[in-house]
Amino acid sequence: MSAENTVFVHELIPLEYRVALDALSVWLAPFPPLHLCCEQPALLSELKQRLPFSLNHPWRSGLWLEPQRLGWLSPLVEFSACLPVGARLGVLLSLLPARLLPGHQAWGGTPLGEQIGGLQILWQALSQHGFSIVTMQGLHTGQAILYFAATKAARKHGRLALADRLEFAARQRYTQPLSSAWCASCALILAVRQ
């Protein structure tokens, strides 16, 4: 890894975004070259550690990071026009609870996913522009947060075996299908161009 792609510990983005970028890397890596639309500069250095992207057409996959409330339709139209049938598209967007994450407030912008109904608007628009949704996942879900809080309480009271089981349950619920992931901090959408 080159020094320019190094991310120092104090500059790390929140864990849920790193987990999502790891998942996107596994899903998109077999389909280079990658077309990137990154609307949140804070995510770019983490992304450069995981995936190479190309400025030159033709692309076989696409990655859209943090669509913004204003102007979100232009990148979608571009992805629809430049990706061939069968190409993969990954979308990572913040949801309303992300505003509570440390460091997230400094990112700026107006993420589409943090707006009421923004996720549904994007989901419908993807379908209208020729993308079939493979999966939609929520990360750092409310279920996981509750289990982690119960884990902490069990440890405080010396119930270590119970704490281990609760922590395991929390980790299982960290990522859930978006339809059942309440209070998730961010969403990951995987789609295929039809």
Task: Tell me the average pLDDT across 156-180.
Answer: 94
Report residue 124's pLDDT band, with 50, 70 and 90 as the boundaries.
very high
Q: How far is CA 176 from CA 35, 107, 135, 157, 185, in A?
A: 27, 25, 10, 29, 12
Residue 4 in 3-state DSSP? helix
d(CA 57, CA 184): 35
pLDDT on residue 156: 96
Q: Which amino acid is at 87?
A: A
**How far apart (Å, rounded) are the C-alpha atoms in residues 74 and 97?**
26
**Residue 183 pLDDT exceeds 60:** yes
Q: Which of the two residues, 175 and 104, has the higher pLDDT score?
A: 175
Comparing C-alpha atoms, which of 184, 161, 186, 157 is closest to residue 173?
A: 184
Q: What is the pLDDT confidence band of residue 38, given thresholds at 50, 70 and 90?
A: very high
Domain range summary for the chain, segments of one domain joined by +: 3-141+175-193
Distances in Å between the Cα of 134 and the Cα atoms of 29, 89, 92, 130 are: 17, 10, 14, 13
* Token output for 102: 């440390």
57 pLDDT tier (thresholds 50, 70, 90): confident
59 band by pLDDT with thresholds 50, 70 and 90 = very high
Q: Which residues of 83-97 are buried (b: 16+ CB within 10 A; e: fewer)?
A: beeebbbbbbbbbbb
Using the predicted structure, report yes or no on whether residue 1 has a pLDDT greater than 50: no
Q: How much is the mean pLDDT over the chain?
A: 91
Does 10 score more than 50 pLDDT?
no
* 64-92 pLDDT, tens digit each: 999 999 999 999 999 999 999 999 999 99
Q: Is the pLDDT of residue 7 over 60?
A: no
Lowest mean per-residue pLDDT among 103-117, 150-164, 173-187? 103-117
List, in sequence order, every beta strand (DSSP E) within 30-130: 34-38, 61-65, 88-94
Helix (H) or strand (E) holding 75: helix 73-82
Q: Is the pLDDT of residue 54 over 80?
A: yes
Whether domain 3-141+175-193 has CATH 3.30.1330.40: the reply is no
